[in-house]
Amino acid sequence: SQKIEQNSEALNIQEGKTATLTCNYTNYSPAYLQWYRQDPGRGPVFLLLIRENEKEKRKERLKVTFDTTLKQSLFHITASQPADSATYLCAPSGAGSYQLTFGKGTKLSVIP
């Protein structure tokens, strides 16, 4: 069965450093991969979508990579700030799919 693993449940980093979150998937070949941010008590907020033919995508301090050979996506936040503290979710999906499946998330804490 399809499986999505996000590297760790929690990640603590120092303010100003680059945070790197990992999303690994097995038993399928997604055409797209989405990343979301979720704050406590709130719904997820869409951040970035990367396609299988794109190696990298950037948005301000965010960068996402997609390695279909390794079956892995990396999500980077550069110059991290305490306001970046949240849970980050990845969601790979196949072409033509109507069902978006999420990983369990990584809780990022940026320490001042």
Partner 1 sequence: NAGVTQTPKFQVLKTGQSMTLQCAQDMNHEYMSWYRQDPGMGLRLIHYSVGAGITDQGEVPNGYNVSRSTTEDFPLRLLSAAPSQTSVYFCASNANSGTNYGYTFGSGTRLTVV
Residues that bind partner 1 (CB under 8 A): 31-32, 34, 36, 41-46, 49, 51, 89, 91, 93-105
Residue 15 or 31: the one with the smaller Cβ distance to partner 1 is 31
Least CB distance to partner 1 at residue 14 (A): 28
Least CB distance to partner 1 at residue 35 (A): 9
Least CB distance to partner 1 at residue 17 (A): 26
In 3D space, the residue among 68, 72, 70, 50 whose CA is nearest the CA of residue 59 turns out to be 50
Residue 17 or 104: the one with the smaller Cβ distance to partner 1 is 104
**Under 8 Å CB-to-CB from 53, ≥6 apart: which residues?**
none
Angle CA(79)–CA(18)–CA(38) in degrees, nearest 5?
Answer: 85
Q: How many CB atoms lie within 10 A of CB 85?
A: 18
